[in-house]
Amino acid sequence: MITHFLLRFVDEITLLNIFKYITVRSVLAGATAFMLSLCLGPLVIRLLKRWGYGEKIEKGDSAQLDSLHASKENTPTMGGLMFLGASLISIMCWGDLSEPLLLVGTLVMFLCAAIGFVDDYLKLRKKGGLRGSVKLFLLCLVATGTCLFLLWLTDTTNHPNYKPYGNLHFPFFKDVSLNLGAFYPLLAVLVFSGTANAVNLTDGLDGLAIGTFLPLAGAFAMMAYLAGHWNFSEYLFIPFVSGAGELTVLCAAIMGAGLGFLWFNCHPAEVFMGDTGSLALGGIIAYVSLVVRQELVLLIAGGVFVVEALSVIMQVSSFKLTGKRIFKCSPLHHHYQFLGVAENKITIRFWIIGIIMALLSLLTLKVR
C-alpha cells in the first residue's frame, strides 16, 4: 500500500523511483517486519499469559526428557501469531498486491497457520490436538490448491527459460527435468507435508527452529529474485517465473519478523511459536520452492530440518522392526541433550550447519 501511494508522485519526485525496485522493497519489508515484531512481542506474550495459553509438559515415555523440559512449563505458546502479524503488515506495505504469486503465498502461509492454530488451541483447551491424519489431510488440501493454482498460471513473456509447471527439475544440470504429469500434485503434497512436519519436529529447543529457518528463507529469497529476473534466470539456466521476484519481499518480511521473534524465543525463551508458527513457516517455504522449481534444492537448503525428520523416521522404524533405538531420543536435538550437550550449544551448532547448507544450496544455481 505504501509502495503504490509513493509511486503516484514519481513524476514530481524522481527519487521515489527506488520503490519500484524489489531489492529496496525487500530491505524495507524486512526492517518493517523486524520492528513490528519487536513491538508486538511484549503485547502478544502478555495476552497469551492472560489467556492461559502456556506450554504443557505432558509426562511421556522418557523421564529424562520430561526433567530437561520441566522449566519450560507454562511458557506462552502460539507465539507464531507475533511474526505472522508483523509479516502480514509488512507485506501489505511493501509488496506489489497486484501480483497473484504474492497474494497466494500469503494466503498459503495463513492457511497453514490456521491449521496449526486449531491444533495448538485443542492441545491447550481440550487436552488433545488435531489427529495426525486430520492435520495431514488439511495440509494436503493446501498443497493441492497450490498445485492447481500453479498449473493454471500461464506466461506470456516468451522467455527462453520459461518452463510450464508439472516438471521436477534437477539441480547441477542445465536442462534436466522429469515430466510428472498426473503425479505433479503428489510432489506438491510431499513437499508441503514433509516441510511443515520437519519444521514442526525441529521446534523443540529455544530458538532452534526459527534460527535455522532464517538462512533457509534467505536462500529462497535469493532464488525467487533470480527466477523472476529475465537476465539472471537466462544466465544461470534456471526456470524463469514471471512475478516470482515479489516472493523476495514475502521472504524478507518473514525473515525480519522471524528475527524479531527470535529476540523473545532465544534461551531462556519467553514464548514458543507452537504449531501456529511452525506449520506456517514450513508451508510458505514449501510454496516458494514449488513456485521457483527448486523442490530438490530444498532438501539441501533445509538439510537440518531433513535430518531432524529422518532421525524420527529411523528411530520409529528401528524400534518397530528390531525393538532397539538408534538414538537416545529423537528428534536428533534431543539425542544431543541426552548426551549432556548444553541446549544453547546444540542450537547454535544447528544454526551454523543451517547457514552452511543454505550457502551450498545457492551454489547449485551456478554449478550447472
Q: Which residue has the cell 486430520?
A: 134
Note down pLDDT in tens along the chain; length 368 residues: 777 666 676 767 777 788 889 999 999 999 999 999 999 999 999 999 998 888 776 655 567 776 767 778 889 999 999 999 999 999 999 999 999 999 999 999 999 999 999 999 998 887 778 888 999 999 999 999 999 999 998 776 778 888 889 899 999 888 888 999 889 999 999 999 999 999 999 998 999 999 999 999 999 999 999 999 999 998 998 999 999 999 999 999 999 999 999 999 999 999 999 999 999 999 999 999 999 999 999 999 999 999 999 999 999 999 999 989 999 999 999 999 999 999 999 999 999 999 999 999 999 988 87
Closest CA to 219 of 169, 327, 292: 292
Enter the pTM of the model.
0.95
User: For the residues of 58-74, what is the DSSP string, one character each?
Assistant: ---S-HHHHHHTGGGTT
Residue type, 282: G
Is the bond leading into 331 cis (omega within 30 degrees of zero)? yes
pLDDT at 156: 66
What nine digits make up the cell of 81?
Answer: 501469531
**3-state class (DSSP) for residue 98:** coil
Closest CA to 168 of 308, 22, 290, 348: 290
What nine digits make up the cell of 223?
Answer: 532464488
Q: Is 11 exposed, middle or buried (0-12, 13-18, 19+ CB in 10 A)?
A: exposed
b/e burial code for range 263-291 (CB count within 10 A of at least 16 → b): ebbeeebbbbbbbbbbbbbbbbbbbbbbb
Beta carbons within 10 angstroms of residue 32's beta carbon: 23
pLDDT at 148: 93
Beta carbons within 10 angstroms of residue 164's beta carbon: 12
